[in-house]
Amino acid sequence: MLRKTLLILLFAFAGFTTAGAAEREEKVVYHISDIANASNALVNIRNHLNASPKAKIVVVTHGSGIDFLLEGAKNKTGNPYDIPVQELAARNVEFRVCKNTLEARSIDKNQVLPEASLVPAGVVEISRLQLQEGYAYLKP
């Protein structure tokens, strides 16, 4: 009888935790530190939202990864980055640029697209999102 009661409690608890996990908000931080990965990352993010429209996505950039979020930036084929960034921002994707990178490279913050915000340090922002806010980490 005790064994049966324990099994019932175990299955009830498992069902409870599964239901709780299903209700958790999907939060993902995409880490872009190299401009060479920006185009693929934007495609991945679009595909991610198509498959999971309610996902909360934050893109954190530093190093040459910030370059696609600068005014006038274009990809290898000459297409501007601002259009896909605007489209994703309209889908509630947040873009964050490392202020340390801007300062180290002497880039004026006014060159950053209006869809992006500045954070003091990109790597610290990624760590904070993961540890304090429970974001999953993806590096395309």
Could you tell me the mean pLDDT of each successive run of 10 residues in the chain, 140 residues long? 49 50 84 97 98 98 98 96 98 98 98 98 98 97
**Bridge partners, 118 (sequence order):** 97
What pLDDT is stored for residue 14 in this prediction? 53
What pLDDT is stored for residue 9 in this prediction? 46
Return the CATH class of domain 25-138.
alpha beta
Residues 6-32 have pLDDT tens digits of 445 455 555 544 444 557 899 999 999
Q: Hey, what are 42's tokens?
A: 């934007």
Residue with token string 């934007």: 42
DSSP string for residues in 9-75: HHHHHHHHHHHHHHHSPPEEEEEE--GGGHHHHHHHHHHHHHH-TT-EEEEEE-GGGGGGGBTT-B-
